[in-house]
């Protein structure tokens, strides 16, 4: 199939998989999933790949060793997870790190983008050596909350994606609604969590406030500590942030994990906690 024109709602990335760079509308999404069918790995195949020799479920490493250690190895596969926090807290950067790990292993991933805020160029810079793998990323430009929900369900039912990121940040303004959970009801999150489990796919919701309630296996709150510069000249080196595990089915919660979301050329590093710094004095 030839590439779509620049004005088309469906764009195509180059490469052997020829995954969509972007898609808008349920019809376009259905067509692309049909086109990608030969490259999709079904749930039973993913299950075999997602278990190690000891039978433990594979976890997606975040790229932050201190955080992965606290999470028992990373974000669980086949589960609904949530990262929330204010702007500049590192929520998108952390999601891109998870995306890089998925693509580096040869998997397919999807990014559902209701606000058309995803920037492939910036994503390629953040992914670094994995940028060429963006050919295996499906970019879904959902126009409404309901379309974002339907796209999430359809992608999970395809059982071929290792990671699906659902950007909920711009779906609603909590100051304009009685509930910060937007149009996604508890029943919707329950259905998505079950579909993720069936598909062995990590479904990651990004938001500014907690939205998934009790349906998520893992909920991580990020709070920015400030930028870090190198220079002169002053160049942004990293964003220093703190993660707090607010919900996890099997790990201790409410413990602060300070770390640095680094620029593409500098790996993420853990920072000493306030308690540790005090003890060292």
Tell me how crowded residue 44 is: count the other CB atoms within 10 A of its CB.
Answer: 9
Question: How many whole angstroms separate alpha carbon 198 and alpha carbon 190?
Answer: 12
Between residues 19 and 77, which one has the greater pLDDT?
Answer: 77
Note the Cα 50 to chain centre separation in Å: 18
What's the pLDDT tens digit per position in 100-147?
889 888 889 999 999 888 988 878 877 776 666 788 899 999 988 889
Question: Model confidence at 278, in pLDDT bands (50, 70, 90)?
Answer: very low
What's the pLDDT tens digit per position in 254-276?
989 998 876 543 444 455 555 44
Tokens, residue 226: 């400030």
Q: Please say if the pLDDT value at position 35 is more than 70.
A: no
Angle at 244 between CA 267 and CA 227, to 5 degrees: 45
Whether 35 contacts 103, CB under 8 Å:
no
Q: What is the mean pLDDT of the chain?
A: 76
Q: Which has the minimum average pLDDT: 30-39, 125-134, 226-235, 258-267?
A: 30-39
Angle at 150 between CA 147 and CA 156, to 5 degrees: 140
Domain spans of the chain? Answer: 11-280
Question: How many whole angstroms separate alpha carbon 208 and alpha carbon 211?
Answer: 9
CATH topology of domain 11-280: Rossmann fold (3.40.50)
């Amino acid at each position: 199939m030839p590439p779509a024109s620049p004005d088309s709602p469906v764009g195509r990335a180059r490469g052997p998989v020829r995954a969509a760079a972007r898609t808008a509308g349920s019809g376009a999404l259905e067509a692309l999933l049909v086109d990608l069918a030969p490259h999709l790995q079904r749930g039973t195949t993913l299950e075999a790949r997602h278990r190690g020799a000891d039978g433990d479920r594979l976890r997606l490493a975040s790229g932050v060793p201190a955080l992965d250690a606290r999470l028992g190895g990373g974000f669980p596969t086949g589960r609904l997870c949530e990262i929330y926090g204010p702007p500049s807290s590192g929520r998108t950067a952390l999601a891109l790190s998870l995306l890089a790990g998925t693509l580096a292993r040869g998997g397919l991933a999807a990014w559902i983008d209701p606000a058309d805020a995803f920037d492939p160029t910036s994503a390629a810079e953040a992914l670094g050596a994995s940028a060429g793998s963006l050919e295996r990323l499906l970019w879904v430009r959902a126009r409404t909350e309901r379309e974002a929900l339907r796209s999430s369900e359809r992608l999970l039912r395809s059982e071929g994606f290792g990671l699906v990121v659902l950007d909920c940040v711009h779906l609603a303004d909590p100051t304009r609604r009685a509930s910060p959970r937007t149009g996604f009801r508890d029943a919707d999150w329950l259905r998505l969590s079950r579909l993720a489990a069936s598909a062995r796919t990590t479904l990651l919701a990004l938001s500014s406030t907690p939205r998934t309630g009790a349906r998520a296996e893992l909920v991580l709150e990020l709070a920015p500590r400030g930028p870090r510069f190198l220079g002169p000249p002053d160049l942004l080196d990293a964003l220093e942030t703190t993660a707090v595990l607010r919900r996890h089915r099997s790990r201790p919660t409410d413990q602060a994990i300070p770390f640095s979301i680094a620029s593409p050329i500098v790996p993420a590093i853990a920072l000493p906690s306030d308690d540790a710094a005090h003890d060292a004095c």
